[in-house]
Copies of this chain bind each other. A is one copy, B any other.
Amino acid sequence: MNYQAKLHEYRSWLAAAVEEARAGAEAGGVPIGAVLVGSEGEILGRGSNRRVQDDDPTAHAETTAFRRAGRLRTYGATTMVTTLSPCWFCSGLVRQFGIGRLVIGEARNFHGGHDWLAEQGVEVVLLDDADCVRMMADFIAESPGLWEEDIGE
């Protein structure tokens, strides 16, 4: 697959993560979404940040998508797709389980551990998607306290 075709595929996965983020926001939650994608492009797990909905501080979007994929034996051929640069907790998840690729919607509103992951050999693709940037910027402006709580600041 050439780079343009790959990029098209990554953007289609990101669209699924954005759907999750928007559904989470409609339910009163933090608008971050993620999907874990298998080697054939199939979605293995999907979810949004559920801090508010479940009163669960570990329910970041990436951990939710990962959890919903169930128990898998290996993750090297999977891709974690997230609307926002993953925090250290979710970056640690990617590293520990050896997830092979990370596709990120944007890293302007928050710069987590993705450089560290790239150094560790994870393939990191930063799409710098304008819709993701706007969605997160709007949320942070509207709910700064909830956002700071979510990242422990």
* A residues neighboring B (CB under 8 Å): 51, 55-58, 63, 66-67, 69-75, 87-93, 95-98, 113, 149, 151-153
Contact = CB atoms under 8 A, between A and B. Distances in A.
9 contacts: A56-B67, A58-B58, A87-B92, A87-B96, A88-B93, A89-B97, A92-B113, A97-B152, A98-B152
A55 to B, nearest CB: 6
A78 to B, nearest CB: 11
Contact of A92 (B56, B69, B93): B93
A66 B74 contact: no
Copies of this subunit:
2
A137 to B, nearest CB: 21
A69 B58 CA distance: 10
A57 B51 contact: no
A143 B120 CA distance: 28
Contact of A71 (B51, B72, B91, B151): B51
B89 A93 contact: yes
Nearest to A52: B71
Interface centre among A87, A98, A152 (most CB of B within 10 A): A152
A35 to B, nearest CB: 15
Nearest to A56: B67
Contacts of A57: 66-67, 69-72, 97
Closest 4 CB pairs between A and B? A92-B92, A97-B152, A88-B96, A88-B92
Contact of A152 (B67, B74, B149): B74
